[in-house]
Amino acid sequence: MKMCSLLSALFLTLGLLIGANPTLADQKRTFGFFGEVDSFDRTKQMLVVDDRVFRIDDSVRVHKKKGRKATLSDIIPGVKVGFYPAKRDENRQNNYIDEIWILPSNWKAKRGYADNLER
């Protein structure tokens, strides 16, 4: 009986510790591009991150950590973001972002493209 109570307490404690620091799980995610927002023009659908310009898709989805939804108004200068700039328009002219993750300020990753290739 004591062993069962001890194991229950141990699992409960571990669950609380993991839940208390959700960035540990989020920190394992990698992105095609990571950086800090310089500016965002919603009318022109232009996002500037670390001095690089990206186009935003009309139906872009914005996420926060742990899968919570966010909105485009959450994308402000100074916020760290991650995304995959791979979707192209019909003319193959521009990379469009269709999903953006707003990241915690303590996010640790190398800024820029994950594969170190300019696109």
pLDDT band at 13; cut points 50, 70, 90:
low
Does 26 map to a domain? no
CA distance 67 to 109: 19
Residue 90: per-residue pLDDT: 61
* Average confidence (pLDDT) over 38-47: 94
Higher-pLDDT residue of 30 and 50 is: 50
Residue 4 scores a pLDDT above 80: no
Q: Looking at the 3D structure of the chain, how many domains does it have?
A: 1
Q: Distance between alpha carbon 23 and the CA centroid of its chain, in Å?
A: 11
What percent of the chain has pLDDT above 70? 63
The DSSP output letter for 29 is -
Whole-prediction pTM = 0.67
- For 1-119, list the strands marked E by DSSP: 33-41, 46-49, 52-63, 69-70, 80-83, 87-88, 95-103, 112-113
Does 15 map to a domain? no
CA distance 14 to 79: 31
Residue 106 scores a pLDDT above 80: yes
Does 22 map to a domain? no
Provide the residue count of the chain. Answer: 119
CATH number of residue 41's parent domain: 2.40.50.320
* Average confidence (pLDDT) over 20-31: 52
* Highest averaged pLDDT of the listed ranges 12-21, 87-96, 100-109: 100-109
* Average confidence (pLDDT) over 34-59: 92
Using one digit for the tens of pLDDT, what is the confidence trace for 54-95? 999 888 999 987 777 789 999 999 999 999 876 555 665 666
